[in-house]
Amino acid sequence: MPHSLTANGFMGLDSALPPWTSVRKIVQAEATTASASESPDQRRARLMAAAQSGDRRAYERVLADSILLIRVAARRQGVAADRLDDVVQETLITVNRVRHTYDPSRSYDAWLTAIANRRAIDALRSRGRRDSRELHDDFAFDNHADLADASAATEQLQRAQRLRAAIAELPPGQREAVEQMGLHERSLSEAAELTGRNTGALKVNLHRALKALRERFNGEP
């Protein structure tokens, strides 16, 4: 997707340019037919000089041939792989705008690399600015994952406090039944033994206590 954006972004400027895929084929054909004595830099310089004179095919070839150089320059500047296409696009737009500044007696690669370096640094800076404003998901998760747990723990604590307060407000018999059998998890007979009440009274008291608590918290009768 980013690659098609690259092509389209540039196509907007110069609609006569074919998609890069077809240009690549032309360049490969050109590379195989280039004379052995000519270095790639010299070939690009010759093509760019022709482009400055209005040779559209030469311009298409030299631009397509520049993409790899731009990517290498951007990589060297430390641009991440997923941002390389953006730098290629920005550099090609700049090249199109300032192509009159190229001096054919000098290295095309040096000229292009200087522009690509600048655009790469721009990309790194804009990335830096964005990173200082925004949080990445994984970063947020690593640093703030406990936030939800902390609020849940507080809620649970508050619920327990409310329950304890409600139990404290129960009549003494019911409170005793809940404490012994509900909170301390004692059996009916153990509770009867500890409180000195008979099991039937404890059962009734526990039943009434639970009903009262349920009414209080859930609004059920």
Partner 1 sequence: MRRLPPPSVRTVGWLLVVAAFAVVLLMHYGITGMQQRFVGTPDLAWAGVGAVLTAVSAAWAAFALSVPGRRAAWAWLPLPGALLWIGASGLGCLRQTVLQVTAPGTAVSTAHQSVDCLVFIIAFSIPLSVLMVFLLRRAYPLRPVLTAVLVGLASAAASASLLEICHAYDAAATDLLTHAAAVALVVAVNAAMGGRLLSKA
- What does the binding site for partner 1 look like in residue numbers (CB under 8 A)? 52, 54, 94, 97-103, 106-107, 110-115, 118
CB 26 within 8 A of CB 60: yes
* Number of other residues whose CB lies within 10 A of the CB of residue 208: 16
Residue 7 has, within 13 A of its CA and on its CB side, a CA count of 14
Q: CA 44 to CA 34: how far, in whole Å? A: 11
Minimal distance, residue 94 CB to partner 1, in Å: 8
Shortest distance (Å) from residue 10 CB to partner 1: 16
Q: Of 3 and 83, which has the nearer Cβ to partner 1?
A: 83
**Among 94, 96, 83, residue whose Cα is nearest residue 126:** 83
- The nearer residue to partner 1, 32 or 105, going by C-beta atoms, is 105
- Shortest gap between Cβ of 105 and partner 1 (angstroms)? 8
What is the C-alpha to C-alpha distance for residues 201 and 197, in angstroms, rounded to an integer? 7
Sign of the torsion formed by the C-alpha atoms of 169, 175, 179 and 181: negative
* Structure tokens given for 4: 């098609």
User: Smallest distance, Å, CB 14 to partner 1?
Assistant: 12
Instruction: In angstroms, give the least distance from the CB of 120 to partner 1.
Output: 12
**What is the rounded CA–CA span in Å between residue 167 and residue 169?**
5
Q: Please, which residue, 55 or 179, has the CB nearer to partner 1? A: 55
CB nearer to partner 1: give 112 or 177: 112
- Residue in 91, 45, 93 with CA at minimum distance from that of residue 70: 91
Is 72 or 147 the residue whose CB approaches partner 1 more closely?
A: 72
